[in-house]
Structure 1
């Protein structure tokens, strides 16, 4: 028991520690998870999963994979598929089919896997995981269209790989005599009925119970989690190894329901997925035998990787996008970027164990090949996505921009100055008339409600490192910042507060809203009034000849710092700006009265 508890604690600390370090130093999380797992397992022997967990290891991995696949199914929304572009639908349907067929041939003829290992592994590799794609898109700051295509492909194709792997594993059981054909049909029908029926029943039950006030709100997510585990267990109990398909279908059913609480469910499953994929990855990495791994990764494995990167992916994308209105450079770019993530390793390891238990000797190679695919694709695509995007003219500015919600005189003036400095900026508003001035100034705009589900997927968030809620409604600003805080970062969502009245201002809870923006000047009314009084935005380039001390000496009274673009191109605003020590090379944007400033104002960038 002590070894079991110690093992769980070590896996948790190792996995989340690697995730935090990856975030802190802007590194691919999967690379650190791999390094930490190898150090904890094969190198030092501190973590020995086989001894710590024994016969429980396979069931634990199975439960984790079940929840991961439920999460993938939850993201597959049929309404969203119908609303996406033709290119996305073809990437998901045609591209995935071509990638599976070519991948199976690659695994069979080049890697030398047996036919069943090859088709199951090819199914798993169809997926380009959203958990890997999203950070890369933020890192590269792609233009809206290629970023949208890659993002939607990852989201919609996420559950397909597991479904293909499960389907062919079931067919394998039939061909080997473990199950009969009619049993396969029964499994499929049973999984669909239990998944769809369970999803519908949970949705109806929760709606009725919560409307009637029979169940407290805080039990909603636990009920769904327990239902996932129960569906997995019952499905496996009635028909062996049908649980994965059941929970995936259950996720699809819930994801397409009208359940009002899906937002909370999705955020919870995202947290669970981070914990589980990190834990499973560390667990499986620590279980590796380095000698066996080195033996499995031979020249044939190297050739398999080369074909996967330079033949399978490019051809599948080129075929899928025939007839789509996409420039060749975008097709080429999308055909290169296809990183696989932790889910591929977790699912591969699970099926490797199942195949080996059924007498498929080379099933164990799936784990080694999956590790190789993940590491090679994450490193190759992670380090090349930025330079390649810039070389092809598909970069949107390095992810250093500002997304402004609310078109007002102040926000438009700020956006105009940012545009002159070639800092990406976009103004979103749900009122078409209010966007008129921004459109006339040539500023990028988004017409629509930013709190809608459509906006969360259509807004090019990867191009902007900060969001500013600048409407005249303080409660709306707070709601916008609260909604986008988890996506952009709590410290990176800013809002203009309302002006303090004589009775004082009622503060929102510290967990709501964003960080106050230019609070030293005042709220919404004060900022727009200062603009009418002649206050303006001034950009100052600090240098060895004109440093921070000179700027502080010459700045007009009451001038407020808005943001800084460092010499390396990083944008700093809000708390990050306050914590930053100004230095030579920084471009400082301030807002203040015209006065008789002696500051050497930076010239607007020339397009």
Structure 2
């Protein structure tokens, strides 16, 4: 009993700890998760998933994969993909996925001599990339917006596409022999069961999400309940229909208009992250290094073909006559790592086929994990170098977004620009935004409270800090909460509430101390401005003036970096720094 308890606790500790390490190092979480899982499993024997979960291991992994695929399908919203990158992304997700599938299946069959049904299944599994591995790389590389948008949406969209392809392959092919034969009847019944249960689950969940008697956290629990119930119901009707059900359920919820699915964002952010970590620790702990090593040079050749031939071929075909510049096409070809969804689907199908005694089933997991490790390492090294060599990588964001455009806030934005900073202004009040335009300020028109409004916007590339300055405390709280989710808590600073306290959201999220100090409420700053004080750029603060920010030159010679001042310690002055103050 103690061994099982320690083992389960260790899985959770390692899963969360590896993700915290990844966040600190700004690397894909899959890198430490893979390393820690293998060390804790095959190398040291500290974690034995089969001993911990016994016969329930396969079912537990299947349910976890279903939840992850549901989360991925929630991102498939038609209206979220628009503009000039739409065509390229759709071609990459459709034609590019097909090219990858066919080429990968042929390469696996030729290089590793596995049965054709297994090769086709592996080809479908390695289609996927995924936001859990792509987004941390994009955060580190900081490519130009067009490349970032294409890679982000390809990663989001191709996850369920690859999962659907793998599920279809798994249910449509006969794995009993070395040839390829279709099981049309069984496949059709499986798809019907999955589609029916997925739609039913969404229809049951939507009234619960609209219900006024359920608290937000209870709606998160209701979502989890409905997803697991739909998965189980579909699997009871037809083996392996559960994954289809969760994908369909996510698609239905993402594209309906009756209920706001942003209510379940906590489900995606908290439970999804923990589940991904636990799942990948368990999966990587099942990998035998001897099996991976036994694949030998053919496995290395497979990874080389995928990154040097297949990915460039898919990008070239999908961006032909698209208007995407050659340099950007080259960078698109240099980033397509495989991630957690590939690992989890490989484990589910590998265990299922091994139980059936299918020839070659034991090769699925080591081959896919080799592809995951190889592509992550290759792209982690090559993609940043390629981005810099092609001139498509941004430096650290240094700009400022001033939220609120009262007269004193417009004066602040003007002074920041005068000091050499890149500044944009956003206001919820049209008359303030119009006044900012008249004064020559750059005004942001995007709805900052929209779902995902900033994460795929030029703001995310250029803005190093957000200064929330409106005189509406309730609005400030909402803005702080949303912008902290989108951009990170450290980049969002807010004035204290009218009574001098930090914003509630700021306290809950442990943000920086109040912007400009505890006494610098919007009302106090407006009063000082109305009495004749103005924001000035000075070398040192005169007596009685309120210090607002330090503006500092950057090593790359770009826009100056702004360090807003709070009640916390001010940055040590450097030669060339200038100070912004509010004073007479």
Q: Would the TM-score normalized by the shorter structure come out above 0.5? A: yes
Aligned to 1:194: 197
User: 2: CA distance between counterparts of 1:566 and 1:43?
Assistant: 49
Aligned to 1:388: 386
Aligned to 1:236: 235
Aligned to 2:340: 342
Aligned to 1:524: 522
Shift of 1:102: 2.5
Aligned to 2:489: 490
Q: Which of 556, 581, 584 lines up with 1:592 in the alignment? A: 581
Shift of 1:424: 5.1
Write out per-residue CA displacement over residues 386-412 of structure 1, whole angstroms, 9 at most, x where no aligned residue.
443333232333234433333455555
Write out per-residue CA displacement over residues 105-164 of structure 1, whole angstroms, 9 at most, x where no aligned residue.
232234444322222222222222111222222222232222122112222222111110
User: 2: CA distance between counterparts of 1:370 and 1:576?
Assistant: 49
Aligned to 2:117: 116
Shift of 1:20: 1.1
Structure 1 contact 407–427 (Cα < 8 Å) conserved: yes
SS of corresponding position for 1:578: coil
User: 1: CA distance between counterparts of 2:309 and 2:289?
Assistant: 29
Aligned to 1:203: 206
Q: Which of 297, 320, 323 lines up with 1:322 in the alignment? A: 320
Task: Map 1:437-586 onto structure 2 (within 5 A).
Answer: 445-453=443-451, 455-460=453-458, 461-497=460-496, 508=504, 510-511=507-508, 515=512, 516-519=514-517, 522-527=520-525, 533-538=533-538, 556-560=543-547, 562-563=549-550, 573=563, 578=568, 582=572
Q: TM-score, normalised by structure 2?
A: 0.87
User: 2: CA distance between counterparts of 1:379 and 1:388?
Assistant: 14
User: 2: CA distance between counterparts of 1:113 and 1:420?
Assistant: 66
Structure 1 contact 480–513 (Cα < 8 Å) conserved: no
SS of corresponding position for 1:453: coil
Structure 1 contact 63–229 (Cα < 8 Å) conserved: yes
310 and 26 in structure 1: CA distance in 2 versus 1, 3 angstrom threshold: same
Structure 2 contact 419–578 (Cα < 8 Å) conserved: no
After TM superposition, where is structure 1 displaced by more than 6 Å over at least 4 residues in a row?
174-179, 440-443, 504-507, 566-572, 574-577
User: 2: CA distance between counterparts of 1:379 and 1:571?
Assistant: 32
User: 2: CA distance between counterparts of 1:440 and 1:333?
Assistant: 40
Write out per-residue CA displacement over residues 457-476 of structure 1, whole angstroms, 9 at most, x where no aligned residue.
54232543432223343322
Task: Map 1:122-201 onto structure 2 (within 5 A).
Answer: 122-173=123-174, 180-201=183-204
Q: Which runs of 5+ in 1 are unaligned?
A: 541-550, 596-607
Structure 2 contact 27–140 (Cα < 8 Å) conserved: no
SS of corresponding position for 2:426: strand
Shift of 1:581: 5.8
367 and 404 in structure 1: CA distance in 2 versus 1, 3 angstrom threshold: farther
579 and 433 in structure 1: CA distance in 2 versus 1, 3 angstrom threshold: same
Structure 1 contact 174–180 (Cα < 8 Å) conserved: no
User: 1: CA distance between counterparts of 2:548 and 2:337?
Assistant: 40
User: 2: CA distance between counterparts of 1:365 and 1:174?
Assistant: 13
331 and 422 in structure 1: CA distance in 2 versus 1, 3 angstrom threshold: farther
User: 2: CA distance between counterparts of 1:422 and 1:307?
Assistant: 47
SS of corresponding position for 1:404: strand
Structure 2 contact 399–421 (Cα < 8 Å) conserved: yes
19-28 or 453-462: bigger deviation:
453-462
162-171 or 85-94: bigger deviation:
85-94
Q: How many residues of Structure 1 are paired with residues of Structure 2 in the alignment?
A: 573
User: 1: CA distance between counterparts of 2:268 and 2:256?
Assistant: 16
Shift of 1:200: 2.1
RMSD (CA atoms)? 3.4
**Structure 1 position 85 matched with structure 2 position 86:** yes
Write out per-residue CA displacement over residues 32-54 of structure 1, whole angstroms, 9 at most, x where no aligned residue.
11222222222222222233333
Write out per-residue CA displacement over residues 580-602 of structure 1, whole angstroms, 9 at most, x where no aligned residue.
762757x755322679xxxxxxx
SS of corresponding position for 1:537: strand
Write out per-residue CA displacement over residues 425-453 of structure 1, whole angstroms, 9 at most, x where no aligned residue.
44334566644676678865431321123
